[in-house]
């Protein structure tokens, strides 16, 4: 079996399994027509006023920094598993990647983005 045929088989199997899981969950899940179910709440306390409030930009900045370093971790594991096959060129590319991330961390640290105020 060729690689493209194997890829299609895996892709179709994944799609079928996801759709099957969603259909089974929809069929077996308990259904409730209670109007309170659709109301917004926070930590079990009913909300007061409008739910369209502004958040500090620090939350978003912190989330973006988390995503950047999470992506670094996700890229680091596959690279580490094939490091010997990549040779010196792979090491240099990953060193360049780490330098860019370190400069980004230093910039965020200098700007005070990592301090929770």
Contact between 8 and 2 under an 8 Å Cβ cutoff? The reply is no
Q: 59-106: per-residue pLDDT in tens?
A: 777 788 888 888 888 888 888 888 888 889 988 988 998 898 889 888
Residue with tokens 């990953």: 94
Structure tokens at 65: 């920094």
What is the signed CA dihedral for 39, 43, 49, 51, rounded to 10 degrees? -70
pTM score above 0.95: no
What residue spans of the chain are helical by DSSP H?
A: 3-28, 57-81, 83-111
């Amino acid at each position: 079996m060729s690689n493209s045929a194997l890829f299609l088989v895996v892709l179709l199997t994944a799609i079928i399994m996801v759709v099957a899981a969603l259909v089974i969950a929809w069929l077996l899940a308990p259904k409730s027509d209670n109007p309170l179910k659709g109301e917004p709440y926070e930590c079990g306390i009913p909300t007061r006023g409008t739910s369209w409030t502004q958040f500090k930009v620090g939350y978003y900045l912190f989330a973006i920094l988390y995503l950047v370093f999470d992506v670094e971790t996700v890229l680091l594991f596959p690279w580490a598993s094939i490091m010997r096959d990549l040779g010196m060129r792979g090491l240099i590319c990953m060193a360049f990647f780490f330098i860019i991330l370190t400069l980004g961390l230093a910039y965020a640290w200098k700007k005070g983005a990592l301090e929770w105020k």
